[in-house]
Amino acid sequence: MTDPGPFTEDVVHQIMRHMNDDHAADCLTICRALAGRPGATAARMTGMDAGGIDFAVTDGGAEHRVRIPFSERLTERPQVRREVVRMTEEARAALSA
């Protein structure tokens, strides 16, 4: 994490818990399409800061760390949801093309 911006450690953990518990399939879709890991079999969010989101991706039987930048530096928590939705939609479109 290089630019925490407004995101405290507690906020990041809340977002990670929500993403990993409620949006595991979206994490995998994002990593397959936007992190260049089309063969990934699992993905979990491991962190984030104002500049991007971090994942641990299982691909080829090994775990890899990937970072996907946000489209802009985030300055408030509601932006996280919008960025993740954007990433998910972009990833789904890329995988269905």
Domain presence at residue 3: no
Indicate the residue type of 21.
D
- Confidence at residue 5, expressed as pLDDT on a 0 to 100 scale: 76
Q: Check which CATH number belongs to the domain holding 67 and give it.
A: 3.20.180.10
- Confidence at residue 3, expressed as pLDDT on a 0 to 100 scale: 66
pTM listed for this prediction: 0.92
Domain presence at residue 42: yes
| Tens of pLDDT, residues 46-96 | 999 999 999 999 999 999 999 999 999 999 999 999 999 999 999 999 999
With 50 as the cut, is the pLDDT of residue 1 above it? no
Supply the DSSP string of 17-59, one letter for each residue: HHHHHH-HHHHHHHHHHHSS-TT--EEEEEEEETTEEEEEEEE
Domain presence at residue 88: yes
- Indicate the helix (H) or strand (E) that contains 62: strand 62-69
